[in-house]
Amino acid sequence: MAYCRVLMDEIFGRGNFVGTVVWQKIHARNNSAQHLSSVHDYLLVYARSKSDLVLNKIDRTELSDQEFWNPDNDPRGPWRRSDLTASHAYEDGRYEVVGPHGDVFSPRGNRWWSCSRETFDALREDNRIWWGKTGRTFPFRKRFQSELGGLVPTTFWTHDEVGDNRQAKTEVTKLFDRSRIFSTPKPEALLKRVIQIATDPGDVVVDVFAGSGTTAAVAHKMGRRWVTAEILEETAETFTRPRLEKVVAGDDLGGITKTVGWEGGGGFRSLKASPSAFDFADGRVFLADWVEGEDFAAVVAAQLGFMYDSADGGPFCGTKGRARLAVVDGVVDEVVARGVIGRLDEGERAVIVGRGATPEAQSLIAELSPGSKVLKAPRDLVRRGKAVR
Ligand SMILES: C[S@@+](CC[C@H](N)C(=O)[O-])C[C@H]1O[C@@H](n2cnc3c(N)ncnc32)[C@H](O)[C@@H]1O
């Protein structure tokens, strides 16, 4: 965690560090640990720009169920008792009230009512005063769960709020048959908390360590868009994809499904990523060895955002609006340039990519088709070690 924190500081900037959350990942005792039994994990929270960051509050119903009750079956739902007195002197806070059975009450000693008689009477009128089950005890105000706002998230998340490792294993085991055990899943409630705090419906959630696919599954059920990646094909095919297919089909009845009322829907595409087309060494960029022939054209099209079409015919292999892409696995000379430009239709321009280009070819293109251009691969396809569009 400490090393990761330093690394993240470098990436996001120290000023964008928001906090560290401790998550109780294990709640059972383990006496076999040699020194200390590690029962928690960390979430390092960073903002892209802390001054612009707004985090959502946590739904109160998630946390404090036990505090609320409804002994009088109030149609407004569960409520909790709240003191109607305060220790600071309040001009309008000295009066007597009479309970349902004629008992007379007023704050004792150095205490005052915290509201005026008018307010008290209005609360009483609205059945917001609790006189105890017998109707004879000191009055309290009823505060309804449904009327209280959310809670600011804390930095300590317990297993009963967001689940633990054991719960996560049970969730994944229920989804698949027992012959397929994924060893390091996270509980859905944990990801629900993260996603609820940090995103709104429609936002994009990214997890590049998919594993069993918990993040994407929870994001999907919560109406977020998502991107996830898994490096091991076997894991992706055994766990990630089948789990997400079940979520879409409405066949995943576990995890947060009931809490968020998920019934299935939506969809996703799965793609197999190729190895990087670029190698970087000593500040220079090279095309990877596998990038040649047809692969070269496909890589260039993807890199420049053209729709690739190998069967395009003629010199072109991609289209982007009125621009046509021509990729030459060699040097672009005058003959090539003339051939490509000559095949353009009215109003079209060409992007010609080669491993190199002669100055004559460049002048010729500028003269014949001023909107067209020549790019050299890989130099013009990447900028400062990053891929460019
Ligand atoms: C701890 S697991 C993630 C568990 C996940 N949160 C869940 O609930 O199932 C980490 C996963 O990341 C994958 N992984 C590791 N390095 C990766 C990489 N460079 N790109 C994509 N996936 C990677 C591992 O194969 C493993 O499945």
> Ligand 1: does its nearest atom lie under 6 Å from the Cβ of 56?
no
> Ligand 1: does its nearest atom lie under 6 Å from the Cβ of 231?
yes
Coil vs helix vs strand at 387: strand
CA dihedral 5, 10, 12, 16 (to 10 degrees): 60
Instruction: Encode pLDDT of 296-326 as tens digits.
Output: 999 999 999 999 987 656 889 999 999 999 9
Q: What share of the chain is helix, strand, coil (3-state, %, to 5)?
A: 30, 25, 45
Instruction: Encode pLDDT of 221-242 as tens digits.
Output: 999 999 999 999 999 999 999 9
The encoded tokens of residue 288 equal 């990877």
Whether the predicted pLDDT of 64 surpasses 80: no
Query: Which amino acid appears at position 337 of this protein?
Result: A
Q: From the CA of 211, give the closest atom in ligand 1.
A: 27
- CA nearest to 93, candidates 71, 120, 58: 120
Quote the ligand 1 centre to 208 CA distance (angstroms).
7
The encoded tokens of residue 276 equal 């990087």
Q: Which of 209, 227, 228 has the most ligand 1 atoms within 8 A of CB, as the residue to mutate?
A: 209
Instruction: Encode pLDDT of 104-114 as tens digits.
Output: 999 988 899 99
The encoded tokens of residue 85 equal 């007195």
Measured CA to CA, the distance from residue 230 to residue 246 in angstroms comes to: 18
* Structural domains of the chain, ranges and CATH numbers in brackets: 2-57+154-260 (3.40.50.150), 79-148 (no CATH), 278-388 (3.40.1350)
Quote the ligand 1 centre to 202 CA distance (angstroms).
24
Query: What does pTM read for this prediction?
Result: 0.72
Instruction: Encode pLDDT of 120-147 as tens digits.
Output: 999 999 999 999 999 999 999 999 988 8
| For ligand 1, atom 27: residue with the closest CA | 211
Phi, psi of 104 (to 5 degrees): -105, 130
Distance of CA 363 to the CA centre of its chain: 49
Using pLDDT thresholds of 50, 70 and 90, give the confidence band for residue 385: very low
